[in-house]
Structure 1
Amino acid sequence: MGVDLGELVEPEEISFADLNDKVIAVDAMNTMYQFLSIIRQRDGTPLKDSDGNTTSHLSGLFYRSINLLEKNIRPVYVFDGKPPQLKAKEAKERRKKREEAREEWEKLKEEGKISEAYSKATQSSKLTGDMIEEAQKLLDAMGLPYIVAESEGEAQAAYMVQKGSVYAVGSQDWDCLLFGADVMVRNLTSRKTRKTSGGGRKEVSTEKIDLESVLDQLDISHEKLQWLGILVGTDFNPDGIYGIGPKTALELVKQYDSFDDLMEDDKVEWESDNDPDKILDFFQNPPVEDTDFEFESPDKEEIRNVLIEQHDFSEKRVNSGLEKLDTALESRQSGLDSFT
């Protein structure tokens, strides 16, 4: 979710080689929702164990993390903490939409409309507290660090980039730029091809977005980028301003020197329950904290316990993944110590 700047910004296509030896703060919630959406059976049913527990998020976390490590990219997962009050109404709306999508998915499955069912299934993904705990348990076993933010994970990840403790934020959500992330990487954990609405597949490139370059392209300040985001719609006012798209929003923010004057423009009809000044303040002063993290040696037996014993993963596939993990760690010239 969040603001969509894709219409205004031209990302730089990069390869994993461009991220060699980089530490990336991965937006954990955004990434796990991505796994829940795409790692599914043909009719949209997520991967499940014999007890009926969803395991798509664990599959994605295990195999995609190993893939990054094989490319000498080091992920630090950043989880959301306590959601801000500004997000309360949006969270309620998202729950309602997920439930509606789930009902439509079940109906379409019964009717045998598999392709349409899959589309609705991806919109019904739900990430529970238990699933988050399972993910963190797996990360511990893999020796990969994770951080639980004080509030928004994107804000914490952006702060870590600003402090120089990581190179970039790995996320699909443009809001991390509003929080001040100097560098953002999209499609880091995505499949390299994606289904199209016509049933085919298209290539998905890893993209780098540099905040300074974005501001130069748009010829605005970072604060005005935040104004633009609020006009278009963020997680705290998802509908944005009726009739104002990214291009119109860019024209508007360039006309004004103060946020108050911008909000008084005749085109800006504010309908969100949230105060725009409070949204702006949250982007400018989000709850964040200094953090320390380090990479540890993986506990293979615990990985097997979590995936095979508790969730019925294929022993052969997990052992193959562990071999790749070993190779990835051993390939580093100075060993695991260079991860710290």
Structure 2
Amino acid sequence: MGVKIKEILPFREVELDHFHGREIAIDAMNTLYQFLSTIRQYDGTPLKDSEGRVTSHLSGLFYRTSNLVEIGIKPLFVFDGEPPKLKSKTIENRRQIRAEAEKARKKALEKGKKEEARKYAQRSASLSSEMIGQSKTLLSAMGIPWVQAPGEGEAQASRIIQNGDAWGTGSQDFDSLLYGSPVLVRNLTITGKRKLPGKDKYKQISPEVFEIEKIFEKHDIDRKKLIAIGILVGTDYNEGIKGIGPNKALKRVKEDGDIEEIIESADKVDVMEVDPLEIEKLFLEPDVTDDYSIKWAPPNPEEIKRFLCEKHDFSESRVETGIERLEKGVGERAQESLEKWT
């Protein structure tokens, strides 16, 4: 879900080649859920191998990441660890939504309503620990680094950016901005034409770049006030205050300051189900680590084909095309590095 504050955030649309040579720390779980939701057959059934194992996540991870590498982008993936206890309610709500969506999908299929079934299928996507392990195995074979976060993946990705080990975070959610990432890139792995739900129309999706300093400059706020806006609207840790959207929240912090100052405003105290200062602390002092290693390597073609083609029934010709894209990107990186020192 994440924090829904896009309507007050300045951003710019760019082409994918804008990120040539950039290291982007991608929120792995967010991205894998995208693949599981969108890469499906017409009736909403996910892609599967001959043994009935879901492969939609592997398809998206391999082909779309290969495209990024060919363009000259240096992706790295950050996986979630243990979520904070305050997120337990959100996690349970998501489970219920997926379960209800799966029931609705089956009913729609029984009635022959394939388009409706696909809509519900996108909401019922579930990511297992086995799928996460498969994704890490594939990334390693592709030569793409990945980092295991102790806590929230977006918090760890933001820490990697703050340490100067990558340029920006990649996610559909805005949480990384609250965690202090200087740059957020949306739509990185879904760029291109996408069919509008329930319509025979397509929309062009372009990457969106959000820069935290431009947000601060436009609204004359700082990070603590941005976090306060998120808390008022609602985060993965709290439901927010009824009737307060991004614009009202922005007005509130301009009048009263950060979340602590808002609480202290005697005539403007709102009832919240959790301590807002505890939520603020989760964003300011998240569970992250500096003990990680990031190294891009050449792909291992034999290992990729063994994993995708032999084990999961992928088309060998298509996989070879993806490998060629990976090798092209790696080759251009090596050439650019050589030219830099000559």
TM-score (ref. length: structure 2): 0.94
Deviates more, 1:228-237 or 1:190-199: 190-199
Cα offset for 1:220? Answer: 1.1
Pair 1:326 & 2:327 matched: yes
Query: Contact (CA 8 Å) 1:241, 1:268: kept in 2 or not?
Result: no
Query: Contact (CA 8 Å) 1:329, 1:336: kept in 2 or not?
Result: no
CA distance, structure 2, for counterparts of residue 107 and residue 336 of structure 1:
56
Change (3 A) 1:260 1:325: closer
Cα offset for 1:258? Answer: 4.7
Q: Which runs of 4+ in 1 moved over 4 A?
A: 264-268, 335-338
Query: Contact (CA 8 Å) 2:259, 2:276: kept in 1 or not?
Result: no
Query: How many aligned residue pairs are there?
Result: 336
CA distance, structure 1, for counterparts of residue 259 and residue 56 of structure 2:
43
RMSD: 1.7
Change (3 A) 1:317 1:336: farther
Unmatched 5+ residue regions in structure 2? none
CA distance, structure 2, for counterparts of residue 167 and residue 302 of structure 1:
29
Residue type at the aligned position of 1:206: P
CA distance, structure 1, for counterparts of residue 74 and residue 120 of structure 2:
33
- Give 1:94-173 correspondences, 5 Å limit: 94-173=94-173
Could you say which residue in structure 1 is the equivalent of 2:92? 92
Query: Contact (CA 8 Å) 1:242, 1:269: kept in 2 or not?
Result: no
- Give 1:16-95 correspondences, 5 Å limit: 16-95=16-95
Residue type at the aligned position of 1:232: V
Could you say which residue in structure 2 is the equivalent of 1:223? 224
Deviates more, 1:310-319 or 1:59-68: 310-319
Could you say which residue in structure 1 is the equivalent of 2:277? 277
CA distance, structure 2, for counterparts of residue 68 and residue 106 of structure 1:
35
Cα offset for 1:268? Answer: 5.6
Unmatched 5+ residue regions in structure 1? none
Could you say which residue in structure 2 is the equivalent of 1:295? 296
Cα offset for 1:97? Answer: 0.8
Residue type at the aligned position of 2:119: S
SS of corresponding position for 1:235: coil
Cα offset for 1:20? Answer: 1.1
Cα offset for 1:271? Answer: 4.2
- Quote the sequence identity (%): 46
Cα offset for 1:26? Answer: 0.5
CA distance, structure 1, for counterparts of residue 311 and residue 197 of structure 2:
36
Residue type at the aligned position of 2:305: R
Query: Contact (CA 8 Å) 2:191, 2:207: kept in 1 or not?
Result: no
Deviates more, 1:128-137 or 1:319-328: 319-328
Query: Contact (CA 8 Å) 2:29, 2:79: kept in 1 or not?
Result: yes
Query: Contact (CA 8 Å) 2:187, 2:206: kept in 1 or not?
Result: yes
SS of corresponding position for 2:237: coil
Residue type at the aligned position of 1:293: I
CA distance, structure 2, for counterparts of residue 59 and residue 319 of structure 1:
13
SS of corresponding position for 1:185: strand
Cα offset for 1:292? Answer: 2.4
Change (3 A) 1:243 1:268: farther
CA distance, structure 2, for counterparts of residue 107 and residue 177 of structure 1:
40
CA distance, structure 1, for counterparts of residue 257 and residue 5 of structure 2:
21
Could you say which residue in structure 2 is the equivalent of 1:313? 314
CA distance, structure 1, for counterparts of residue 185 and residue 288 of structure 2:
21
SS of corresponding position for 2:333: coil
CA distance, structure 1, for counterparts of residue 90 and residue 242 of structure 2:
17
Cα offset for 1:336? Answer: 8.4
SS of corresponding position for 1:112: coil
Residue type at the aligned position of 1:300: P
Could you say which residue in structure 2 is the equivalent of 1:184? 184
SS of corresponding position for 1:310: helix
Cα offset for 1:331? Answer: 2.7
Query: Contact (CA 8 Å) 2:142, 2:300: kept in 1 or not?
Result: yes
Cα offset for 1:99? Answer: 0.5
Cα offset for 1:335? Answer: 7.3
Cα offset for 1:51? Answer: 1.2
CA distance, structure 1, for counterparts of residue 51 and residue 269 of structure 2:
51
Write the deviation string for residues 67-86 of structure 1: whole angstroms up to 9, x where unpaired.
00111001010000111111
Query: Contact (CA 8 Å) 2:157, 2:169: kept in 1 or not?
Result: yes
Query: Contact (CA 8 Å) 2:69, 2:325: kept in 1 or not?
Result: no
Change (3 A) 1:337 1:54: farther
Residue type at the aligned position of 1:225: L
Cα offset for 1:34? Answer: 0.6
Change (3 A) 1:59 1:101: same
CA distance, structure 1, for counterparts of residue 90 and residue 160 of structure 2:
26
Query: Contact (CA 8 Å) 2:144, 2:297: kept in 1 or not?
Result: yes
CA distance, structure 2, for counterparts of residue 11 and residue 229 of structure 1:
17
CA distance, structure 1, for counterparts of residue 47 and residue 286 of structure 2:
36
